[in-house]
Structure 1
Amino acid sequence: MSNQPDQIVPDSEHKGIMGLLPAVARPYALLARLDRPIGWWLLFWPCAWGVALAGGAIARWDLLLWLLLGSIAMRGAGCVYNDIVDRDLDRQVERTRSRPLASGALSVKAAWIWLVILCLIGLLVWSQINGTAKLVALGSLALVAAYPFMKRITWWPQAWLGMVFSWGALVGWLAIDPQFHWAMTLLYLGSIFWVIGYDTIYALQDREDDALVGIRSSALRLGENVRFGVLFCYLVALVSWATAFWTLRPQWLGVIALVPVALHLLWQVTTLKSGDGQDALAKFRSNRFAGFLMFLACLVLGQAG
């Protein structure tokens, strides 16, 4: 791996940059998925939504930067932990067999040390939020620890991932307003279904290999009904978000603000080619933009009051 950039994980977004890293550093960067920023963007956006919908995006722009740093570090830590647990399975899947642990480019001991370093960065970010948000943030640890095992016991590991990747919506809101509000809960619920939808699209890449090695996923469970399943998840997400906006501020402004993200999600579903792994990957990555559109909607409503 240290000599040829083309040995880097196939779905890397930045093979050239990874190829320029020193050989000793490259496996660590790949293990934390630093070559694929889509993951930390998808973890960050629900955090930003919570901050924005609670009305704090402008006044607490510094908090958004802290949460972005935390998303990068903790997404990396989650990937390291996931690869430690899944290293034997990863060796059996074409897309993942070149990952640092599965390929032997990095030892398990080194991976654990790297995991601790990333968690310390996350701890620094955790120290920047208020007490209520800190307690809620800690509540996600059990979900994170259990996630790698979900694909072995349920056909819907994407639902568990939805709870994990959406947790930031609660933390972001409570970091601005430590009081419970139904809008916060509905924002979180909608985010869960958004994650289920886009991760089902992502899982389309591995359906054949997953079926062979016994990994379960919503993409396998839905079979030929993947497009309908993703559409259903996105509709539930949009209805949840619209209800959250209406609960917070009963004005049509909120519903109108959701139109751009609704159109983008509809585009994903209507143009999805379920048998084309490259198209599935492109549609999955486009959710970085969907998250930004949702952030703008939350910003509009959060600042309207």
Structure 2
Amino acid sequence: MIAARRFNLYLDLIRWDRPAGWLLLLWPTLAALWIAADGFPGLHLIAVFTLGTVLMRSAGCCINDVADREFDRHVKRTSQRPVTSGALGVPDALGVGAALAFVSFLLVLTTNPPTILLSFFGLAVTLVYPYAKRFVSMPQAVLGVAFSFGIPMAFAAAQGGQEWTFGAVPSHAWWLLLGNLFWVLAYDTEYAMVDRDDDLKIGIKTSAITLGRFDVSGVMAFYGLFLAIWAVVGRSLGLGEWFLLGIAVAAAQALWHWSMIRERSREGCFRAFRVNHWVGFAVFAGVVVDLAMR
């Protein structure tokens, strides 16, 4: 019984019952992988990036909960997280996070040197993010880099050679990273709008607080920039009507999100965040279908 309870605490620590978090990372990464490979990238790379995404998101949850444990005590939604409540100790959480990150790195070792090199930078941003909210007015931008780093890694894995160089990543991959960063700003601002009152009391910096009364318009602008950048880059790479249909479906969802967040209710903002992975799936599906129809 004790072992089972502890195992359940570990599952709660890594948010195993909330797959929306890792799906937000997965869809743009897989979309980039398909674009980089100009079609089906092979089972090996799909497995590496899918499993790596799940593992690193889970490791990030461990790091984030340790870093935020003092703040989370004052937020109703997070006060019962395992580390915050004291059900799991800090060494336990860090140990789980390190183990998950190590397994993810073993997966990266099956790719090529450029991808391995980029993984160190991705890990560094992941470690920095939990502390950004103490100093950066819009820490969601730091999260955006962390959540988008699978994009250049996907290009490096699909197109890179055996040399340790950043030259394995074409310029359009970085443009896709920038576009995806705006998507992260959109959905994580929705997330921050849920906790804005609590965050103001404890002094945390978030994009929802920084944007103030322009939070809703800011979210919609971020959606627009994300979809515009991906549309322009995709078209420049030869993606056609099916891809644009995916962009259009994602844009329609963004408008639906406006209807959920415009009143700024906790329930509406949280619901918008939780279903955001469907925006990414629409873009991913557009990429896959378009390349398959060539």
TM-score (norm 2): 0.91
Quote the Cα distance in structure 2 between the aligned partners of 1:38 and 1:252.
28
Quote the Cα distance in structure 1 between the aligned partners of 2:146 and 2:153.
12
Q: Identify the match of residue 199 of structure 1 among 176, 188, 203.
A: 188
Give the deviation of 1:253 after TM superposition: 5.5
Percent identity, aligned pairs only, is 33
Q: Which moved more, 1:268-277 or 1:289-298?
A: 268-277
Q: Is the 8 A contact 1:47 1:172 kept in 2?
A: yes
Aligned counterparts, 1:1-305, within 5 A? 22-55=4-37, 58-178=40-160, 179-249=168-238, 251=240, 254-303=243-292
Q: Which runs of 5+ in 2 are unaligned?
A: 161-167
Q: Is the 8 A contact 2:122 2:149 kept in 1?
A: yes
Q: Is the 8 A contact 1:49 1:172 kept in 2?
A: no
User: For residues 150-177 of structure 1, what are the alpha-carbon distances to aligned partners after superposition, in whole Å with 9 as ceiling and x for unaligned?
Assistant: 1111220111100100111111122112
Which residue of 1 is the match for residue 164 of structure 2?
Answer: none
Letter in 2 for 1:98: Q
Letter in 2 for 1:175: A
Distance 1:112 1:103, change over 3 A: same
Quote the Cα distance in structure 2 between the aligned partners of 1:198 and 1:231.
10
State the secondary structure of the residue aligned to 2:6: coil
Give the deviation of 1:180 after TM superposition: 3.4
State the secondary structure of the residue aligned to 2:4: coil
Quote the Cα distance in structure 1 between the aligned partners of 2:240 and 2:30.
22
Give the deviation of 1:304 after TM superposition: 5.5
Give the deviation of 1:64 after TM superposition: 1.7
Quote the Cα distance in structure 2 between the aligned partners of 1:38 and 1:274.
23
TM-score (norm 1): 0.88
Quote the Cα distance in structure 2 between the aligned partners of 1:181 and 1:223.
37
Distance 1:30 1:301, change over 3 A: same
Give the deviation of 1:245 after TM superposition: 0.9
Q: Which moved more, 1:272-281 or 1:29-38?
A: 272-281
Quote the Cα distance in structure 1 between the aligned partners of 2:38 and 2:116.
17
Give the deviation of 1:75 after TM superposition: 0.7
Quote the Cα distance in structure 1 between the aligned partners of 2:188 and 2:123.
20
Quote the Cα distance in structure 2 between the aligned partners of 1:96 and 1:224.
25
Distance 1:301 1:133, change over 3 A: farther
Q: Is the 8 A contact 2:155 2:169 kept in 1?
A: no
Q: Is the 8 A contact 1:101 1:108 kept in 2?
A: yes
Q: Which moved more, 1:270-279 or 1:95-104?
A: 270-279
Letter in 2 for 1:141: L
- The alignment yields a C-alpha RMSD, in angstroms, of 2.0
Quote the Cα distance in structure 1 between the aligned partners of 2:158 and 2:223.
27
Give the deviation of 1:134 after TM superposition: 1.6
Q: Is the 8 A contact 1:53 1:301 kept in 2?
A: no
Quote the Cα distance in structure 1 between the aligned partners of 2:104 and 2:242.
36
State the secondary structure of the residue aligned to 1:139: helix
Give the deviation of 1:66 after TM superposition: 2.3
